[in-house]
Structure 1
Amino acid sequence: MKTRRIVITGGPGSGKTSLIKYLEDKGYKVKEEISREVTIQAQKEGIDQLFLEKPILFSQKLLEGRLKQYLEGNDCADKILFYDRGMPDVTAYMDFVNTEYPESFSKACIEHRYDEVFLLPPWKQIYKQDNERYESFDQAEEIFQFLKKGYTSFGYKIHEVPVGSIEDRAHYILRSLNE
Protein backbone atom coordinates (compact mmCIF):
# COMPACT_ATOMS: atom_id res chain seq x y z
CA MET A 1 0.00 0.00 0.00
CA LYS A 2 1.35 3.37 -1.02
CA THR A 3 0.96 6.14 1.53
CA ARG A 4 -0.95 9.14 0.18
CA ARG A 5 0.93 12.37 0.89
CA ILE A 6 -1.51 15.19 1.63
CA VAL A 7 -0.46 18.83 2.09
CA ILE A 8 -2.55 21.20 4.14
CA THR A 9 -1.39 24.75 3.55
CA GLY A 10 -2.58 28.31 3.85
CA GLY A 11 -1.41 31.73 4.78
CA PRO A 12 -0.69 32.70 8.37
CA GLY A 13 -3.69 32.61 10.68
CA SER A 14 -5.87 30.43 8.45
CA GLY A 15 -6.43 27.74 11.10
CA LYS A 16 -4.07 25.30 9.40
CA THR A 17 -2.12 24.17 12.45
CA SER A 18 -5.29 23.66 14.53
CA LEU A 19 -6.75 21.55 11.73
CA ILE A 20 -3.58 19.46 11.48
CA LYS A 21 -3.64 18.93 15.26
CA TYR A 22 -7.28 17.84 15.07
CA LEU A 23 -6.47 15.28 12.37
CA GLU A 24 -3.55 14.03 14.43
CA ASP A 25 -5.82 13.67 17.46
CA LYS A 26 -8.15 11.59 15.26
CA GLY A 27 -5.31 9.14 14.66
CA TYR A 28 -3.89 10.39 11.38
CA LYS A 29 -0.13 10.57 10.91
CA VAL A 30 1.16 14.14 10.43
CA LYS A 31 4.39 15.98 9.75
CA GLU A 32 4.29 19.28 11.64
CA GLU A 33 5.21 22.74 10.41
CA ILE A 34 8.87 23.57 10.95
CA SER A 35 9.05 27.32 10.24
CA ARG A 36 8.43 28.35 13.86
CA GLU A 37 11.22 26.00 14.94
CA VAL A 38 13.61 27.59 12.41
CA THR A 39 12.53 31.11 13.47
CA ILE A 40 12.93 30.38 17.19
CA GLN A 41 16.38 28.85 16.64
CA ALA A 42 17.47 31.95 14.70
CA GLN A 43 16.14 34.20 17.48
CA LYS A 44 18.27 32.26 19.96
CA GLU A 45 21.21 33.08 17.69
CA GLY A 46 20.34 36.80 17.72
CA ILE A 47 18.43 37.09 14.42
CA ASP A 48 14.97 38.47 15.16
CA GLN A 49 13.26 37.55 11.87
CA LEU A 50 15.47 35.23 9.80
CA PHE A 51 13.01 35.22 6.89
CA LEU A 52 13.11 39.01 6.64
CA GLU A 53 16.85 39.39 7.28
CA LYS A 54 18.19 36.37 5.35
CA PRO A 55 15.34 34.98 3.25
CA ILE A 56 17.48 32.57 1.22
CA LEU A 57 19.06 31.04 4.33
CA PHE A 58 15.68 30.74 6.06
CA SER A 59 14.11 29.22 2.96
CA GLN A 60 17.00 26.80 2.48
CA LYS A 61 16.55 25.58 6.07
CA LEU A 62 12.82 25.13 5.48
CA LEU A 63 13.33 23.30 2.21
CA GLU A 64 15.87 20.97 3.80
CA GLY A 65 13.50 20.27 6.69
CA ARG A 66 10.53 19.65 4.43
CA LEU A 67 12.57 17.42 2.14
CA LYS A 68 13.64 15.43 5.21
CA GLN A 69 9.96 15.11 6.22
CA TYR A 70 9.08 14.00 2.70
CA LEU A 71 11.78 11.33 2.67
CA GLU A 72 10.71 10.13 6.13
CA GLY A 73 7.29 9.62 4.57
CA ASN A 74 8.80 6.85 2.45
CA ASP A 75 8.81 4.70 5.59
CA CYS A 76 5.24 5.55 6.61
CA ALA A 77 2.95 2.52 6.86
CA ASP A 78 -0.22 4.60 7.23
CA LYS A 79 -2.70 5.01 4.39
CA ILE A 80 -2.54 8.82 4.65
CA LEU A 81 0.23 11.18 5.80
CA PHE A 82 -0.66 14.83 6.28
CA TYR A 83 1.98 17.55 5.91
CA ASP A 84 1.60 20.96 7.56
CA ARG A 85 2.90 22.81 4.48
CA GLY A 86 4.87 21.37 1.59
CA MET A 87 7.97 22.25 -0.35
CA PRO A 88 6.14 24.57 -2.82
CA ASP A 89 5.32 26.81 0.17
CA VAL A 90 9.00 27.77 0.18
CA THR A 91 9.00 29.05 -3.39
CA ALA A 92 5.61 30.73 -2.95
CA TYR A 93 6.88 32.73 0.03
CA MET A 94 10.02 33.67 -1.88
CA ASP A 95 7.83 34.89 -4.74
CA PHE A 96 5.73 36.81 -2.21
CA VAL A 97 8.78 38.76 -1.05
CA ASN A 98 10.01 39.07 -4.65
CA THR A 99 13.32 37.33 -3.94
CA GLU A 100 15.12 35.17 -6.46
CA TYR A 101 16.06 31.71 -5.29
CA PRO A 102 18.25 28.90 -6.58
CA GLU A 103 16.85 26.58 -9.25
CA SER A 104 17.37 23.75 -6.74
CA PHE A 105 14.32 25.04 -4.83
CA SER A 106 12.02 24.46 -7.82
CA LYS A 107 13.78 21.20 -8.67
CA ALA A 108 13.00 19.81 -5.19
CA CYS A 109 9.33 20.73 -5.68
CA ILE A 110 9.22 19.02 -9.07
CA GLU A 111 11.03 15.85 -8.00
CA HIS A 112 9.14 15.25 -4.74
CA ARG A 113 5.40 15.28 -5.44
CA TYR A 114 2.50 15.21 -3.02
CA ASP A 115 -0.76 13.45 -3.89
CA GLU A 116 -3.24 16.17 -2.88
CA VAL A 117 -3.10 19.80 -1.74
CA PHE A 118 -5.68 21.48 0.49
CA LEU A 119 -5.45 25.27 0.77
CA LEU A 120 -7.07 27.19 3.62
CA PRO A 121 -8.12 30.79 2.92
CA PRO A 122 -7.36 33.71 5.23
CA TRP A 123 -9.89 34.00 8.05
CA LYS A 124 -10.04 37.41 9.71
CA GLN A 125 -12.00 36.23 12.79
CA ILE A 126 -9.23 33.88 13.91
CA TYR A 127 -6.18 35.81 12.68
CA LYS A 128 -3.61 36.83 15.34
CA GLN A 129 -0.08 38.16 15.11
CA ASP A 130 2.62 36.94 17.51
CA ASN A 131 6.42 36.77 17.87
CA GLU A 132 6.82 34.36 14.95
CA ARG A 133 3.87 35.58 12.85
CA TYR A 134 4.74 39.10 11.78
CA GLU A 135 2.49 39.39 8.70
CA SER A 136 -0.58 41.62 8.68
CA PHE A 137 -3.95 40.19 7.66
CA ASP A 138 -3.66 41.93 4.28
CA GLN A 139 -0.31 40.21 3.78
CA ALA A 140 -1.90 36.90 4.78
CA GLU A 141 -4.42 37.40 1.98
CA GLU A 142 -1.59 38.08 -0.48
CA ILE A 143 0.31 35.00 0.70
CA PHE A 144 -2.82 32.92 0.09
CA GLN A 145 -2.78 34.05 -3.55
CA PHE A 146 0.93 33.30 -3.90
CA LEU A 147 0.42 29.82 -2.42
CA LYS A 148 -2.43 29.16 -4.84
CA LYS A 149 -0.36 30.34 -7.80
CA GLY A 150 2.76 28.50 -6.59
CA TYR A 151 1.15 25.09 -6.19
CA THR A 152 -0.74 25.51 -9.47
CA SER A 153 2.53 26.33 -11.26
CA PHE A 154 3.87 22.93 -10.15
CA GLY A 155 0.81 21.23 -11.65
CA TYR A 156 -1.24 20.66 -8.53
CA LYS A 157 -5.02 20.75 -8.47
CA ILE A 158 -5.87 22.67 -5.31
CA HIS A 159 -8.79 21.93 -3.02
CA GLU A 160 -9.85 25.17 -1.29
CA VAL A 161 -11.10 24.31 2.19
CA PRO A 162 -14.15 26.36 3.21
CA VAL A 163 -14.04 28.46 6.36
CA GLY A 164 -15.85 26.71 9.20
CA SER A 165 -15.38 24.68 12.34
CA ILE A 166 -12.36 22.43 12.62
CA GLU A 167 -14.69 19.43 12.43
CA ASP A 168 -16.33 20.72 9.22
CA ARG A 169 -12.98 21.45 7.63
CA ALA A 170 -11.61 18.02 8.56
CA HIS A 171 -14.78 16.40 7.22
CA TYR A 172 -14.38 18.30 3.93
CA ILE A 173 -10.79 17.05 3.56
CA LEU A 174 -11.54 13.47 4.54
CA ARG A 175 -14.60 13.34 2.28
CA SER A 176 -12.46 14.67 -0.60
CA LEU A 177 -9.99 11.85 0.09
CA ASN A 178 -12.82 9.27 0.25
CA GLU A 179 -12.04 8.59 3.91
Structure 2
Amino acid sequence: MKTKRIVITGGPGSGKTSIIKYIEENGFSVIHEISRSVILEAQKEGIEQLFLTNPILFSQKLLEGRLKQFHDASKYTSDFLFYDRGMPDVTAYMDFVKTDYPKNFSQICNENRYDCIFILPPWKEIYHTDNERYENYEQAESLYHYLYAAYENYGYNVINVPVGKIAERVDFIVNKLKK
Protein backbone atom coordinates (compact mmCIF):
# COMPACT_ATOMS: atom_id res chain seq x y z
CA MET A 1 0.00 0.00 0.00
CA LYS A 2 1.21 3.47 -0.88
CA THR A 3 1.76 5.88 2.02
CA LYS A 4 -0.93 8.56 2.06
CA ARG A 5 0.39 12.11 2.36
CA ILE A 6 -1.76 14.16 4.74
CA VAL A 7 -1.36 17.93 5.17
CA ILE A 8 -2.35 19.73 8.36
CA THR A 9 -2.58 23.45 7.59
CA GLY A 10 -4.21 26.60 8.89
CA GLY A 11 -3.45 30.15 9.80
CA PRO A 12 -0.89 31.00 12.46
CA GLY A 13 -1.86 30.06 16.00
CA SER A 14 -4.63 27.63 15.02
CA GLY A 15 -3.11 24.63 16.82
CA LYS A 16 -1.16 22.93 14.00
CA THR A 17 2.03 22.31 15.95
CA SER A 18 0.16 20.90 18.96
CA ILE A 19 -1.82 18.56 16.73
CA ILE A 20 1.28 17.44 14.83
CA LYS A 21 3.10 16.72 18.12
CA TYR A 22 0.12 14.72 19.39
CA ILE A 23 -0.10 12.77 16.14
CA GLU A 24 3.61 11.94 16.34
CA GLU A 25 3.37 10.97 20.03
CA ASN A 26 0.65 8.51 19.03
CA GLY A 27 2.86 6.63 16.59
CA PHE A 28 2.17 8.31 13.27
CA SER A 29 4.94 9.48 10.93
CA VAL A 30 5.32 13.25 10.73
CA ILE A 31 7.18 15.76 8.57
CA HIS A 32 7.75 18.90 10.62
CA GLU A 33 7.33 22.51 9.50
CA ILE A 34 10.53 24.19 8.33
CA SER A 35 9.57 27.88 8.31
CA ARG A 36 10.91 28.52 11.82
CA SER A 37 14.30 27.10 10.85
CA VAL A 38 14.36 29.34 7.74
CA ILE A 39 13.45 32.33 9.93
CA LEU A 40 16.10 31.50 12.54
CA GLU A 41 18.74 31.00 9.84
CA ALA A 42 17.96 34.47 8.44
CA GLN A 43 18.02 36.01 11.93
CA LYS A 44 21.51 34.59 12.46
CA GLU A 45 22.47 36.51 9.31
CA GLY A 46 20.97 39.71 10.74
CA ILE A 47 17.63 39.65 8.91
CA GLU A 48 14.93 39.92 11.57
CA GLN A 49 11.94 39.00 9.36
CA LEU A 50 13.05 37.48 6.05
CA PHE A 51 9.44 37.13 4.86
CA LEU A 52 8.87 40.86 5.34
CA THR A 53 12.30 41.85 3.99
CA ASN A 54 12.41 39.54 0.96
CA PRO A 55 9.21 37.49 0.59
CA ILE A 56 10.32 35.84 -2.66
CA LEU A 57 13.61 34.57 -1.18
CA PHE A 58 11.85 33.37 1.97
CA SER A 59 9.16 31.63 -0.07
CA GLN A 60 11.74 30.09 -2.43
CA LYS A 61 13.59 28.63 0.57
CA LEU A 62 10.35 27.26 2.00
CA LEU A 63 9.21 25.76 -1.28
CA GLU A 64 12.60 24.13 -1.88
CA GLY A 65 12.58 22.72 1.65
CA ARG A 66 9.03 21.40 1.39
CA LEU A 67 9.75 19.88 -2.02
CA LYS A 68 12.75 18.09 -0.52
CA GLN A 69 10.55 16.86 2.31
CA PHE A 70 8.03 15.64 -0.26
CA HIS A 71 10.69 13.63 -2.12
CA ASP A 72 12.34 12.36 1.08
CA ALA A 73 8.97 10.96 2.13
CA SER A 74 9.45 8.03 -0.24
CA LYS A 75 11.48 6.31 2.49
CA TYR A 76 8.42 6.13 4.79
CA THR A 77 6.46 2.90 4.84
CA SER A 78 3.64 3.85 7.21
CA ASP A 79 0.03 4.06 6.05
CA PHE A 80 -0.12 7.81 6.71
CA LEU A 81 2.50 10.55 6.63
CA PHE A 82 1.44 13.85 8.17
CA TYR A 83 2.92 17.16 7.00
CA ASP A 84 2.89 20.31 9.11
CA ARG A 85 1.95 22.57 6.17
CA GLY A 86 2.27 21.78 2.48
CA MET A 87 3.71 23.43 -0.60
CA PRO A 88 0.50 25.35 -1.47
CA ASP A 89 0.90 27.23 1.82
CA VAL A 90 3.76 29.10 0.13
CA THR A 91 1.62 30.50 -2.67
CA ALA A 92 -1.22 31.25 -0.23
CA TYR A 93 1.08 33.45 1.85
CA MET A 94 2.35 35.18 -1.27
CA ASP A 95 -1.24 35.87 -2.33
CA PHE A 96 -1.97 37.16 1.18
CA VAL A 97 0.78 39.78 0.90
CA LYS A 98 -0.20 40.45 -2.73
CA THR A 99 3.25 39.61 -4.07
CA ASP A 100 3.74 38.06 -7.48
CA TYR A 101 5.81 34.90 -7.47
CA PRO A 102 7.52 32.83 -10.16
CA LYS A 103 5.23 30.54 -12.20
CA ASN A 104 7.27 27.53 -11.16
CA PHE A 105 5.87 27.91 -7.61
CA SER A 106 2.41 26.91 -8.86
CA GLN A 107 3.88 24.29 -11.19
CA ILE A 108 5.66 22.62 -8.26
CA CYS A 109 2.41 22.64 -6.25
CA ASN A 110 0.48 21.09 -9.14
CA GLU A 111 3.06 18.40 -9.91
CA ASN A 112 3.64 17.20 -6.33
CA ARG A 113 0.30 16.11 -4.90
CA TYR A 114 -0.83 15.30 -1.39
CA ASP A 115 -3.65 12.83 -0.70
CA CYS A 116 -5.67 14.72 1.89
CA ILE A 117 -5.79 18.27 3.27
CA PHE A 118 -7.04 19.20 6.74
CA ILE A 119 -7.30 22.87 7.63
CA LEU A 120 -7.59 24.32 11.12
CA PRO A 121 -9.80 27.40 11.41
CA PRO A 122 -8.78 30.49 13.38
CA TRP A 123 -9.33 30.07 17.11
CA LYS A 124 -9.02 33.29 19.10
CA GLU A 125 -8.86 31.56 22.50
CA ILE A 126 -5.58 29.82 21.70
CA TYR A 127 -3.99 32.44 19.44
CA HIS A 128 -0.77 34.15 20.57
CA THR A 129 2.24 35.78 18.93
CA ASP A 130 5.92 34.95 19.45
CA ASN A 131 9.33 35.83 17.99
CA GLU A 132 8.64 34.12 14.67
CA ARG A 133 4.89 34.77 14.43
CA TYR A 134 4.27 38.44 13.73
CA GLU A 135 0.69 38.28 12.42
CA ASN A 136 -2.15 39.60 14.56
CA TYR A 137 -5.35 37.59 14.97
CA GLU A 138 -7.18 39.37 12.15
CA GLN A 139 -4.32 38.56 9.78
CA ALA A 140 -4.41 34.94 10.96
CA GLU A 141 -8.12 34.84 10.08
CA SER A 142 -7.40 36.26 6.64
CA LEU A 143 -4.57 33.78 6.08
CA TYR A 144 -6.95 30.92 6.83
CA HIS A 145 -9.12 32.05 3.90
CA TYR A 146 -6.10 32.40 1.60
CA LEU A 147 -4.90 28.92 2.56
CA TYR A 148 -8.32 27.41 1.97
CA ALA A 149 -8.57 29.10 -1.43
CA ALA A 150 -5.05 28.07 -2.46
CA TYR A 151 -5.66 24.38 -1.79
CA GLU A 152 -9.04 24.52 -3.53
CA ASN A 153 -7.41 26.25 -6.52
CA TYR A 154 -4.96 23.33 -6.76
CA GLY A 155 -7.93 20.97 -6.91
CA TYR A 156 -7.98 19.66 -3.35
CA ASN A 157 -11.02 18.85 -1.26
CA VAL A 158 -10.20 20.77 1.94
CA ILE A 159 -11.56 19.36 5.23
CA ASN A 160 -12.18 21.76 8.12
CA VAL A 161 -11.14 20.43 11.53
CA PRO A 162 -13.48 21.61 14.29
CA VAL A 163 -12.06 23.47 17.28
CA GLY A 164 -11.77 21.46 20.46
CA LYS A 165 -9.31 19.55 22.60
CA ILE A 166 -6.24 18.27 20.79
CA ALA A 167 -7.26 14.62 21.18
CA GLU A 168 -10.73 15.37 19.77
CA ARG A 169 -9.27 17.16 16.77
CA VAL A 170 -6.87 14.30 16.06
CA ASP A 171 -9.70 11.75 16.44
CA PHE A 172 -11.68 13.74 13.88
CA ILE A 173 -8.74 13.62 11.45
CA VAL A 174 -8.01 9.93 11.95
CA ASN A 175 -11.69 8.98 11.64
CA LYS A 176 -11.95 10.91 8.36
CA LEU A 177 -8.89 9.05 7.04
CA LYS A 178 -10.37 5.65 7.92
CA LYS A 179 -13.46 6.28 5.75
Could you say which TM-score interval applies, normalised by the shorter chain? over 0.9
Q: Return the TM-score normalized by structure 2.
A: 0.99
Number of the residue aligned with 1:45: 45
Matched, 1:161 2:151: no
2:60 match: secondary structure: helix
Residue identity opposite 1:158 in structure 2: V
Cα deviations by residue, 1:63-82 (Å, 9 ceiling, x for unpaired)? 00000010011121111000
Matched, 1:31 2:64: no
Cα deviations by residue, 1:43-80 (Å, 9 ceiling, x for unpaired)? 00000000000000000000000000100111211110
Q: Return the TM-score normalized by structure 1.
A: 0.99
Q: CA deviation at 1:33?
A: 0.5
Number of the residue aligned with 2:141: 141
Q: Which runs of 5+ in 1 are unaligned?
A: none
Residue identity opposite 2:178 in structure 1: N
Over the residues paired in the alignment, what is the CA RMSD in angstroms?
Answer: 0.7
Q: Which runs of 5+ in 2 are unaligned?
A: none
Superposed, 1:26-175 pairs within 5 Å as 26-175=26-175
Q: Distance in 2 between matches of 1:96 and 1:18?
A: 24
Identical pairs, percent: 61
Q: Distance in 1 between matches of 2:30 and 2:94?
A: 25
Q: Distance in 2 between matches of 1:52 and 1:134?
A: 10
Q: Distance in 1 between matches of 2:43 and 2:143?
A: 23
Cα deviations by residue, 1:118-160 (Å, 9 ceiling, x for unpaired)? 0000110110101100000000000000000000000000000
The count of corresponding residues between Structure 1 and Structure 2 is 179
